[in-house]
Chains A and B, each alone.
Chain A
Amino acid sequence: MENRNSMFSSLRSQLAKQETSCLQITRGCLDKIDKGAPMNAFIAVQAERALRQAQQVDEKIRRNKAGRLAGMVVAIKDNLAVSGESTTCGSKMLKNFVPPYQATVIDRLLAEDAVLIGKTNMDEYAMGSSTENSAFGPVRNPHDLTRVAGGSSGGSAAAVAAGMCTAALGSDTGGSIRQPAAFCGVVGLKPTYGRVSRYGLIAYASSLDQIGPFGRDVYDCALLLEVIAGKDPRDATSSDTAVPPFHTAVGQPVKGLRIGIPREYAGDGLQPEIEQALRRAAERLADSGAEVCSVSLPHSEYAIAAYYVIATAEASSNLARYDGAHYGFAANQRSDLEEMYVHTRTQGFGSEVKRRIMLGTYVLSSGYYDAYYRKALQARTVIKSDFITALDQVDCLLTPTTPTTAFKLGEKIDDPLTMYLSDIFTVSVNLAGLPAISFPFGRDENNLPIGLQMIGRPFDESTILRTAGLLSEL
Chain B
Amino acid sequence: MGAFEPVIGLEVHIHLSTESKIFCGCSTRFGAPANTQVCPVCLGLPGSLPVLNRRAVTFAARLALATHSVIRPVSTFARKNYFYPDLPKGYQISQFEEPFCEKGYLDIKLKNGAKKRVRIHRIHLEEDAGKSMHAESYVSGDETLVDINRCGVPLLEIVSEPDLSSAEEAYAYLAQIRQIVRYLDICDGNMEEGSLRCDANISVRPVGSTALGIKTEVKNMNSFQNVQDAIDFEIRRQLRLTEQGQAVEQITLLWDAHRGVAEPMRSKEYSHDYRYFPEPDLPPIQISEAWIAEIAREMPEMADEKTRRYVEEYQLPLYDAQVLTEDREIAVYFEETIRTAKDKKLASNWIMGEVMRALKEKKGRLADLPVTPDRLGELLNLISQNVLNQTTAKKVFDRMLKTGIAAGQIMKEQGLEQISDQSELESLVQAVLAERPKEVAAFHQGNTKVFGFLVGEVMKASSGKANPKITQEALRRLLQARQPD
A residues touching B (Cβ–Cβ < 8 Å)?
Answer: 79-81, 87, 89, 94, 97, 99-101, 103, 198-203, 205-207, 233-237, 313-314, 316-317, 319-321, 323, 325-327, 337, 341, 361, 364-366, 369, 373
Contacts and interface: CB of A to CB of B under 8 A. Distances in A.
B47 A326 contact: no
A236 B282 contact: yes
20 contacts: A94-B46, A199-B48, A200-B48, A202-B46, A205-B280, A233-B51, A234-B49, A235-B51, A236-B283, A237-B49, A237-B280, A316-B81, A316-B275, A317-B90, A320-B90, A326-B146, A341-B83, A361-B275, A365-B273, A369-B277
B90 A321 contact: yes
Nearest to B144: A337
Contacts of B464: none
Interface in B80-110: 81, 83, 85, 88-91
Interface stretch (B37-45, B213-221, B375-383, B452-460): B37-45
B281 interface: yes
B45 A99 contact: yes
Contacts of A201: 47
Interface string B42-73: 01111111111000000000000000000000
Contact of B277 (A79, A235, A364): A364
A41 to B, nearest CB: 22
Contacts of B81: 316-317, 320, 364
Nearest to A364: B275
Interface residues of B, number: 28
B79 interface: yes
Nearest to B273: A366
Contact of A234 (B51, B88, B146, B282): B51
Given A237-B283, A326-B88, A364-B277, 18 more contacts: A89-B46, A99-B45, A100-B45, A101-B40, A101-B45, A198-B47, A198-B49, A199-B49, A202-B46, A203-B281, A234-B51, A236-B49, A237-B49, A317-B81, A317-B90, A321-B90, A323-B85, A369-B277
Nearest to A341: B83
A323 B90 CA distance: 8
B50 A236 contact: yes
Interface in B281-296: 281-283
A314 to B, nearest CB: 6
B45 A320 contact: no
Given A94-B46, A97-B46, A234-B51, A337 B90 contact: no
Prevailing SS type, chain A contact patch: loop
B162 to A, nearest CB: 23
Contacts of B90: 317, 319-321, 323
Contacts of B43: 326
A313 B277 CA distance: 9
A317 to B, nearest CB: 5
Interface string B373-404: 00000000000000000000000000000000
A94 B44 CA distance: 14
A423 to B, nearest CB: 19
Given A317-B90, A320-B81, A103 B47 contact: yes
A319 B91 CA distance: 10
Contacts of B276: 364
Contacts of B45: 99-101, 327
Contact of B88 (A233, A321, A365): A321
A198 B280 CA distance: 12
A325 B146 contact: yes
Given A101-B40, A317-B91, A203 B46 contact: yes
Contacts of A101: 40, 45, 47-48
B349 to A, nearest CB: 54
A320 B91 CA distance: 7
Nearest to B23: A236
Prevailing SS type, chain B contact patch: loop
Contacts of B280: 205-207, 237, 314
Contacts of A327: 45
Given A317-B79, A320-B91, A321-B88, A237 B281 contact: yes
B464 to A, nearest CB: 68
Most buried by A among B40, B49, B50, B81: B49
Contacts of B91: 317, 320
A18 to B, nearest CB: 39
Nearest to B283: A236
A87 B281 CA distance: 21
Interface string B244-287: 00000000000000000000000000000101110011110000
A237 B43 CA distance: 20
Nearest to A361: B275
B51 A236 contact: yes
A79 B52 CA distance: 24
A103 B50 CA distance: 14
B381 to A, nearest CB: 52
Contacts of B44: 321, 326
B147 to A, nearest CB: 12
A142 to B, nearest CB: 29
Most buried by B among A97, A100, A326, A341: A326
B281 A81 contact: no
A200 B47 contact: yes
A369 B146 CA distance: 32
Contacts of B281: 203, 206, 236-237
B277 A99 contact: no
A161 B19 CA distance: 50
Contacts of A316: 81, 275
Contacts of A317: 79, 81, 90-91, 275, 277
Contacts of B48: 101, 199-200
Contact of A99 (B47, B89, B146, B275): B47
Contacts of B88: 321, 325-326
A100 to B, nearest CB: 7
Nearest to A200: B47
Nearest to B82: A320
Contacts of B89: 320-321
Given A317-B91, A320-B83, A365-B273, A236 B52 contact: yes
Given A207-B280, A313-B277, A321 B49 contact: no
List the 5 shortest-distance A-B pairs measured between CB atoms, nearest first.
A320-B90, A207-B280, A206-B280, A364-B275, A202-B46
A101 to B, nearest CB: 5
A235 B49 contact: yes
Contacts of B79: 317
A87 B83 CA distance: 24
Given A341-B83, A366-B273, A321 B46 contact: yes
Contacts of B47: 79-81, 87, 99, 101, 103, 198-203
A321 B43 CA distance: 10
B430 to A, nearest CB: 83
B40 A323 contact: no
A21 B79 CA distance: 50
A337 B283 contact: no
Contacts of B283: 236-237
Interface in B124-157: 146
A359 B47 CA distance: 22
Nearest to A373: B277
A325 B51 contact: no
Nearest to B91: A317
Contacts of B85: 323, 325-326, 337
Contacts of A203: 46-47, 281
A316 B280 CA distance: 13
A245 B85 CA distance: 46
A257 B273 CA distance: 52
Most buried by B among A81, A99, A236: A236
A314 B48 CA distance: 15
Most buried by B among A316, A325, A361: A325
A202 B46 CA distance: 5
Contacts of A361: 275
A325 B280 CA distance: 24
